[in-house]
């Protein structure tokens, strides 16, 4: 059985979801994109993921800001505004009669090419937009169990060739890192930056707790996750010391607790790294406290979204 931060409670309703592709809706088995799509050919695309919680798209402004930053970085022009894209997402959710425990994946590629090529000038259509909404509730059993990590030899790259903060379709190096971790018997991969400091995991952001302080990387060599930012915000709001700093595996192996963050799973505890047990229990008290504080921010966002 696959175990990791994306474990979800099985939901049969996902067999009948309608997927949005460029203004049309398709059943799961009928949802297709051209083999000449830029994302398929050369990974030329960007994406974002949202959570629908109690009828509210949580932290949507933060997610859209990041999407627009990604588009600006890769030189992609959108034929719609943030308001228009938000309306499209709501149309998709309404089409599927969805109100809660939904994960929404937005994928935008540069468009269809006339021939296989990297050259964006050979793109003959506007951006392709795909929106996949699924009922996804994180498995509490998986969260209580925690996950194990293995430190990959694949490094998070320097921003002068592919900025790690860019949420793009080109994820092959992260897949390589995850494969190493799986082959080593772990659930997911821990990745170092180009200087050998701890950066992130292959699909989530990484934190440790030492002596009552929360540590995470500088953010220069990792995806600046929205959940990561909200955990940092929760620390500041509640008088908890949180450092964004360089630290090494020396610090990690001696941590009191460790956890990872992501839009879908929220906070997930880490029980073992490179075969070394972390902390005294699978779900540490400090991590559990931070998870509760993060969920308070979600509930505040829900209350604001409904006001």
Is pLDDT above 90 for 67? yes
Cβ atoms < 10 Å from Cβ of 144: 12
Is pLDDT above 70 for 234? yes
Residue linked to tokens 């996902």: 14
Whole-model pTM: value is: 0.94
Distance CA 206, CA 222 (A): 10
Average of per-residue pLDDT across 167-180: 94
Residue linked to tokens 């309404």: 94
> Between 150 and 6, whose confidence is greater?
150
Distance CA 292, CA 29 (A): 38
Distance CA 162, CA 40 (A): 18
Average of per-residue pLDDT across 240-267: 96
Is pLDDT above 60 for 1? no
Residues in CB range of 289: below 8 A, 6 or more apart: none
The predicted pLDDT at position 2 comes to 64
Average of per-residue pLDDT across 220-237: 96
Distance CA 73, CA 166 (A): 8
Is pLDDT above 70 for 182? yes
Distance CA 282, CA 146 (A): 6
The predicted pLDDT at position 138 comes to 83
- The whole-chain average pLDDT of the chain stands at 95
Helix (H, G, I), strand (E, B) or coil at 90: helix
Percent of the chain having pLDDT more than 70? Answer: 98
Is pLDDT above 80 for 178? yes
Stretch (H or E) spanning 222: none
Average of per-residue pLDDT across 65-74: 96
Distance CA 136, CA 113 (A): 33
**Tens-place pLDDT, residues 128-172:** 999 999 999 888 887 889 999 999 999 998 888 889 999 999 999
**Tens-place pLDDT, residues 95-119:** 999 999 999 999 999 999 999 999 9
Cβ atoms < 10 Å from Cβ of 225: 23
Residues in CB range of 237: below 8 A, 6 or more apart: 293
Spatial contact of 38 and 111, defined as CB atoms under 8 Å apart: yes
The predicted pLDDT at position 256 comes to 97
Please state whether beta strands 45-53 and 198-201 pair in parallel, antiparallel, or not at all (unpaired). unpaired
């Amino acid at each position: 059985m696959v175990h990791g931060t994306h474990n979800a409670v099985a939901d049969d309703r996902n067999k009948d979801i309608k997927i949005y592709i460029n203004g049309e809706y398709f059943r799961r088995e009928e949802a297709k994109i051209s083999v000449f799509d830029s994302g398929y050919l050369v990974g030329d695309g960007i994406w974002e993921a949202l959570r629908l919680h109690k009828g509210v798209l949580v932290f949507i402004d933060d997610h859209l800001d990041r999407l627009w930053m990604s588009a600006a970085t890769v030189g992609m022009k959108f034929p719609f505004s943030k308001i228009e894209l938000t309306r499209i997402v709501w149309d998709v959710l309404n089409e599927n009669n969805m109100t809660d425990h939904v994960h929404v994946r937005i994928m935008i590629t540069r468009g269809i090419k006339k021939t296989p090529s990297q050259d964006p000038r050979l793109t003959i259509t506007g951006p392709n937009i795909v929106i996949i909404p699924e009922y996804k509730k994180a498995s509490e059993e998986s969260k209580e169990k925690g996950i194990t990590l293995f430190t990959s030899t694949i490094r998070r790259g320097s921003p002068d060739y592919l900025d790690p903060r860019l949420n793009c379709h080109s994820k092959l190096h992260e897949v390589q890192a995850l494969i190493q971790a799986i082959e080593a018997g772990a659930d997911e991969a821990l990745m170092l930056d180009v200087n050998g400091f701890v950066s992130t995991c292959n699909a989530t952001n990484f934190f440790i707790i030492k002596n009552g302080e929360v540590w995470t990387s500088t953010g220069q060599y990792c995806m600046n996750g929205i959940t990561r930012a909200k955990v940092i915000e929760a620390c500041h709001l509640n008088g908890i010391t949180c450092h964004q700093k360089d630290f090494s595996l020396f610090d990690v192996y001696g941590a009191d607790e460790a956890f990872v963050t992501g839009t879908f799973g929220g906070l997930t505890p880490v029980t073992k790294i490179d075969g070394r047990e972390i902390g005294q229990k699978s779900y540490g008290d400090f991590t559990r406290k931070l998870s509760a504080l993060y969920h308070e921010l979600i509930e505040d966002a829900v209350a604001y979204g409904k006001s």
